[in-house]
Structure 1
Amino acid sequence: MKAAVLPWTRDLLLNRTILWLLFIVNALGTVYGYIWYGSQMEYTVETQSAWQVIFVPDSPTASLFFTLSLLFLLFPRLVKPSLAGIVFRSLIEALGVVTSIKYGIWAVTMIMAGGAQGDHLQWEHYMLMVSHLGMAIEAMLFVRYMVFGRFMAFIALVWLLVNDTVDYTFFVFPWLPDVLENDLNAIQSFTMGLSVFSLLVTWLLIAFRKVKV
């Protein structure tokens, strides 16, 4: 069964039309995400230390890393086959996968948690749930065709934990619905736990990786 499914999956996911479509969708989503976080980024620069703004737009930055990863699949020779080139590509891919899994799941969970506690969900919330769920799914699908290994995935976890620490130390985490303000401690624990979970999922996917680009 695997021998029949994997070639079909590979042909579909690595089809250049599909890759270009995903690249365009992710690129547009990245731009939209930074616009979405625009107000919070401006507020952070005006009221807190400017360096903290780097840690505000979590999902768009994850999407940016994954968009670059798709570019590597479209143009395998974009990065020179040197040690520095391989390290750079592996780091970007690891960040793209681990952060996309984490923030894809996180955003959907926060929206659903807010809705469960009485936050009025509008069409934008459902659009965000679909798009963020797509982030997590596509990241897991493409691990098979990327070059990064477990160590780079661990480095991505380190970045996530640094991000989490800054978010909840300086309160630059994504703005939450008012109904979730009393759950901040639980959200912090969930967020950091989800970072580790995302690494474990990535490691598991790497362990079952059969096809290398």
Structure 2
Amino acid sequence: MISWLFSLLTNKTFLWLLLIINLLGTIYGYVWYMPQLRNTPEQFMIFVPDSPTASLFFCLVLVAFLLRKNWPLFEVLALITLFKYGVWAVVMNLLTLWVSGELPWEGYMLMASHGAMAIQGILYSSFYRVKLWHLAAGALWTLHNDMIDYVYMQFPVYSKLFLYIQNIGYFTFWLSIASIALAYYFTQKTPRSSLHPNF
């Protein structure tokens, strides 16, 4: 990893700033999902707010780093879901723009923030301590979530895109596979770095 980037990513002040930003984004995300959650059956609640749950996983990873610990299950969940839902939200907002011919400013804000979600999960992946069983658990969570979204129809509501829901479900499934494969590569096939000695 480039030395200046390594120094930035392992800087304790930067980690705290990243934690605060992600925590605020997580809260905003859950608030954004509130109207849909009011009409969501209780057994599906945990699977509906995808993006804020992904950033919540990453908040827990950052807390662990600040405590000089690794929580591998949250690390793999963060990596898979940050990339998946980061890319997913960017694509869905671009699709909304294509279908409707316009996108409110919140859509551009969501594209920027979700693009950053996808990037940050990857940037910290060399510090993760993920084993294959953690990866398997993360894959199971991710694919099960897709079943809830597109078999039980609990997907995030983008009203203008409902007519394309089968195509979106197909795209989302393969995006999940790509995200799991990416997590395998970054946690099993690349050199590990140590975050803690710089604290």
Normalising by structure 1, we get a TM-score of: 0.86
Are residues 1:188 and 2:169 paired?
yes
Task: Structure 2: give runs of 5+ residues left out of the alignment.
Answer: none
1:24 pairs with 2:30: no
* Contact 2:82 2:117 survives alignment (8 Å): yes
Q: How does 1:142-181 map to 2 (within 5 A)?
A: 142-178=124-160, 180-181=161-162
Give the distance between the partners of 1:141 and 1:209, measured in 2 at CA.
13
Match of 1:127 in 2: 109
Name the structure 1 match of 2:93. 111
What is the correspondence of 1:1-213 to structure 2 with a 5 Å cutoff? 5=2, 7-44=3-40, 49-77=41-69, 89-178=71-160, 180-206=161-187, 207-213=189-195
Stretches (4+) displaced over 3 A: none
Partner SS state of residue 208, structure 1: coil
CA positional deviation for 1:119: 4.9
Checking the alignment, whether the CA contact within 8 Å between 2:26 and 2:52 is kept in structure 1 is: yes
Give the distance between the partners of 1:113 and 1:151, measured in 2 at CA.
35
Computing the radius of gyration from Cα coordinates, the structure with the larger value is 1
Residue 80 of structure 1 corresponds to none
Are the aligned partners of 2:128 and 2:192 in contact in 1 as well (CA < 8 Å)? no
Distance in 2, matches of 1:158 and 1:121, equals: 34
Contact map agreement 1:153 1:203 (CA 8 A) in 2: yes
Q: Secondary structure at the match of 1:210?
A: coil
Contact 1:143 1:209 in 2 (8 A): no
Relative contact order (C-alpha < 8 Å, sep 6+): which is higher?
2
Most deviating of 101-110 and 146-155: 146-155
Residue type at the aligned position of 2:191 = R
Structure 1 CA distance for aligned equivalents of residues 31 and 99 of structure 2: 27
Matched letter for residue 149 of structure 1: K
* 2:124 alignment partner, SS class: helix
Separation (CA, whole Å) in 2 of partners of 1:202 and 1:149: 11
Q: Give the Cα separation in 1 of the matches to 2:62 and 2:129.
A: 12
Which residue identity lines up with residue 123 of structure 2 in the other structure? L
Report percent identity of matched pairs: 39
